[in-house]
Amino acid sequence: MTLEKKKEPVPIPKFLDRLIKGQKSGKIILIIGIAGIALIFISSLMPGSKSPVSKKETAEGYGTSVGDYTERLEEKLTGIVRSISGGKSAQVVVTIDSGYEYVYANDYKRTDDSTEEAGGENNVTKKAGDTEQSYVIVEDENGNELALKVTEYTPRVKGVVVVCENGENEDIGGQIVNAISVALGIPSTSVFVTGFSHG
């Protein structure tokens, strides 16, 4: 003789129980919730709903040219030079070695090929790999395809020339050379400081 166990019904949360049993307001809320989820899902599939590229990140660069960068750098250095020299006038010329450099997001695919050679007691397995590299492409707000920039390096400074009041003074000239060298991360031999000619 076997005893059969009675299955107890699984308890349903009260709010679902009310919905199932016919309360009108509960059914409306359930329908609105499902419709909201469906709208969110549909909007994520629509083209143009995402903008992976910011407005600054365009084909021309991040909104500044090498000339603009150099000009801003010269203005900042002129302020430093005036502060150190104590004079009101100074001229700074910055020479650039290279333009902006960009690092783009890459997608690598690697395939491995294996070859076994049987040769008596020694079995040799050779593995050769093939790597394929491609850039990650995104679309801007105008639909143009661009490589995705990960890093931007500013132009490298090659040298700096400073002409300022009191620049001929060895102590002041040395302080200006050291300040510019540290600020730009260039050797002191790449910085030349002199005073205005009086004649």
Res 131: pLDDT: 73
- Confidence label for 141 from pLDDT (cuts 50, 70 and 90): confident
What is residue 9's predicted lDDT score, i.e. its pLDDT?
Answer: 60
Q: In this structure, are residues 123 and 117 in contact, taking their beta carbons and an 8 Å threshold? A: yes
Exposure of 94 by Cβ count < 10 A (0-12 exposed, 13-18 middle, 19+ buried)? buried
Residue 138's pLDDT is what? 84
Residue of higher predicted confidence among 6 and 105: 105
pLDDT band at 56; cut points 50, 70, 90: very low
| CA–CA dist 79, 163 (Å, integer) | 13
Top pLDDT among 20 and 153 is at 153
- Which one is predicted more confidently, 90 or 1? 90
Name the most confidently modeled range: 29-43, 51-65, 118-132: 29-43
CATH 3.30.300.30 maps onto the chain at 66-100+154-195
Tell me which residue has tokens 């129980």.
17
pLDDT at 137: 83
Q: Does position 112 have pLDDT exceeding 70, yes or no? A: no
More confidently predicted of 151 and 53: 151
pLDDT exceeds cutoff 70 at 75: yes
More confident residue, 84 or 128: 84
For residue 177, the tally of other CB atoms under 10 A from its CB is 19
In terms of CATH architecture, what is 66-100+154-195?
2-Layer Sandwich (3.30)
DSSP 133: E
The mean pLDDT of 97-119, rounded to a whole number, is: 73
Nearest Cα neighbor of 96 from 153, 151, 160, 189 is: 160
Residue with the larger pLDDT of the pair 107 and 128: 107
Global pTM reads 0.52
- Cβ count near 195 (within 10 Å): 17
Residue 157 clears pLDDT 50, i.e. is over it: yes
